[in-house]
């Protein structure tokens, strides 16, 4: 099956509350998950929610690569996983800010506060319960993807919209700043 089109901010499905999945073992659902994985791989993301491909169901796929782990000792890598009907409970009031991007807001990123530590519960594709405690990047990805199921995109969680910007523009600014630093260091010698 060809990969699916990812809808971008502005599409009404991204503002809807998605419906619970009835049967996690439904072969049609499994085909959808396979196509979502292909779509996410092509787009180079680490998470994708069903509404982003135009399907209003409470289903997300996500992974936590070793290379993206935060300093938090409780942050843990996660192989590609499908979460069906996920429910998140924040553990404590602590929030942490971190950079987020979204395949529905291509090219952008911003600083988003999220619960530092969460408990989540969902069903897997075999219908069994998945239950975990997560921190750091793992907790962030789960919260970002599950927000899609409630019709929310990350800018609506931001407390400083001034940090919202284009990745390539930020990279160019950072490169210029580094060069200026390097030139200053040379001049200072």
Q: Pick from 177, 168, 85: which is nearest to 125 by CA?
A: 85
The token pair that represents 129 in the structure block: 């319960």
For the segment 121-150, give every residue that binds Ni ion (CB under 5 A).
none
Q: Determine the interface stretch with Ni ion among 31-39, 65-73, 98-106, 156-164 (rule: CB under 5 A).
A: 98-106
Tell me which residue has tokens 């680490």.
46
Q: Which is nearer to Ni ion, 102 or 122 (CB)?
A: 102
Query: Among residues 49 and 185, whose Cβ is nearest to Ni ion?
Result: 49
Nearer to Ni ion, 40 or 102 (CB): 102
Among this protein's residues, is 97 annotated catalytic? no
Burial of 23-32, coded b for 16+ CB within 10 Å and e otherwise, reads: ebeeeebeeb
Q: Per CB under 5 A, does 59 bind Ni ion? A: no
Among residues 86, 96, 146, the alpha carbon closest in space to that of 116 is found at 96
* Short-list 69, 86, 2, CA closest to 36: 2
Instruction: Please identify, among the stretches 10-18, 102-110, 126-134, 166-174, the one whose residues bind Ni ion according to the rule CB under 5 A.
Output: 102-110
Work out whether 102 is an interface residue with Ni ion (CB under 5 A): yes
Residue 180 beta carbon to Ni ion: minimum distance, rounded to whole angstroms = 34
| Distance in Å, CB of 69 to Ni ion, minimum | 19
List strands edge to edge, sheet with 78-90.
Answer: 47-49, 59-64, 78-90, 117-123, 129-135
Nearer to Ni ion, 104 or 135 (CB): 104
Catalytic center residues: 145
By CB under 5 A, name the binding residues for Ni ion.
Answer: 102
């Amino acid at each position: 099956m060809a990969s699916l089109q990812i809808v971008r901010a502005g599409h009404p499905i991204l503002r809807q509350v998605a419906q619970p999945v009835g049967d996690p073992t439904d072969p049609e659902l499994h085909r959808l998950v396979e196509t979502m994985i292909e779509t996410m791989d092509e787009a180079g993301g680490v998470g994708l929610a069903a509404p982003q491909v135009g399907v209003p169901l409470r289903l997300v796929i996500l992974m936590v690569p070793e290379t993206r782990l935060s300093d938090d000792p409780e942050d843990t890598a996660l192989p590609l996983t499908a979460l069906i009907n996920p429910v998140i409970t924040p553990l404590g009031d602590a929030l942490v800010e971190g950079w987020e991007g979204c395949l529905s807001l291509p090219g952008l990123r911003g600083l988003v506060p999220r619960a530092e530590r969460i408990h989540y519960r969902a069903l897997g594709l075999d219908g069994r319960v998945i239950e975990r405690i997560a921190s750091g990047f793992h907790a962030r990805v789960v919260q970002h993807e599950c927000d899609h199921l409630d019709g929310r995109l990350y800018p609506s969680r931001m407390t400083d919209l001034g940090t919202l910007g284009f990745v390539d523009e930020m990279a160019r600014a950072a490169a210029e700043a580094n060069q200026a630093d390097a030139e200053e260091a040379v001049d200072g010698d």
